[in-house]
Amino acid sequence: MIRRHLCLRGLDARQLIVKETLVASTNVARIAILDDYQNVSLEMADWSPLAGRAVITVFNDHLSNFDEIVERLLPFDAVCVMRERTPLPRAVIERLPRLKLIASTGPRNAAIDVDAAAERGIVVAHTGYDGRSTIEMTWALILASVRHVALENAYLRAGGWQRTVGDGLQGKTLGVLGLGKIGSEVARIGLAFGMEVIAWSQNLTADKAQACGARLVSKEELFRNADILTIHLVLSQRTKGLVGAAELQAMKPSARLINTSRGPIVDEPALIEVLRERRIAGAALDVFDIEPLPTDHPFRSLENVLSTPHIGYVARDLYRTFYGDTVKNITRWLDGGPKYEPDDTGKQ
| Predicted local distance difference test score (pLDDT) of residue 148 | 98
**Mean pLDDT in residue range 191-208:** 97
The count of C-alpha atoms lying within 13 angstroms of the C-alpha of 267, restricted to the half-sphere facing its C-beta, is: 13
Rounded to 5°, the CA angle 220-269-185 comes to: 50
**337 band by pLDDT with thresholds 50, 70 and 90:** confident
**24 band by pLDDT with thresholds 50, 70 and 90:** very low
CA distance 118 to 121: 5
| Predicted local distance difference test score (pLDDT) of residue 27 | 72
Instruction: Rounding to the nearest 10 degrees, give the CA dihedral for residues 167, 173, 178, 179.
Output: 110
The pLDDT tens digits of the residues spanning 87-111 come to: 999 999 999 999 999 999 999 999 9
Same domain, 124 and 143: no
Above 60 in pLDDT, residue 207?
Answer: yes
| 262 classed as catalytic | yes
Residue 63 is part of a domain; what is its CATH number? 3.40.50.720
Above 50 in pLDDT, residue 143?
Answer: yes
Same domain, 117 and 164: no
Above 70 in pLDDT, residue 5?
Answer: no
Above 60 in pLDDT, residue 348?
Answer: no
Q: Choose, from 108, 291, 297, 332, the residue flagged as catalytic.
A: 291
CB atoms within 10 A of CB 324: 17
| 119 classed as catalytic | no
Same domain, 137 and 121: no
Same domain, 201 and 277: yes
Same domain, 159 and 86: no
Summary mean pLDDT of the chain: 91
CA distance 112 to 69: 14
Percent of the chain whose predicted confidence (pLDDT) is above 90: 88
Q: Which helix (H) or strand (E) holds 216?
A: strand 215-216
Above 80 in pLDDT, residue 25?
Answer: no
| Predicted local distance difference test score (pLDDT) of residue 1 | 58
Q: Choose, from 3, 4, 83, 310, the residue flagged as catalytic.
A: 310
Same domain, 260 and 332: no
Q: Is 219 exposed, middle or buried (0-12, 13-18, 19+ CB in 10 A)?
A: middle
- The answer to pTM > 0.85 is yes
Above 60 in pLDDT, residue 345?
Answer: no
Same domain, 89 and 144: no
| 268 classed as catalytic | no
Q: What is the DSSP string of 91-127?
A: HHHTT-TT--EEEESSS--TTB-HHHHHHTT-EEE--
Same domain, 197 and 325: no
**156 band by pLDDT with thresholds 50, 70 and 90:** very high
Q: Choose, from 3, 83, 126, 262, the residue flagged as catalytic.
A: 262
Same domain, 56 and 79: yes
Looking at the 3D structure of the chain, how many domains does it have?
2
Same domain, 327 and 268: no
Above 90 in pLDDT, residue 294?
Answer: yes
Same domain, 195 and 154: yes
The pLDDT tens digits of the residues spanning 210-236 come to: 999 999 999 999 999 999 999 999 999
Same domain, 124 and 136: no
- Three-state DSSP class for 152? helix
Q: Which domain holds residue 14?
A: 2-130+314-345
Q: Which helix (H) or strand (E) holds 276?
A: helix 268-276
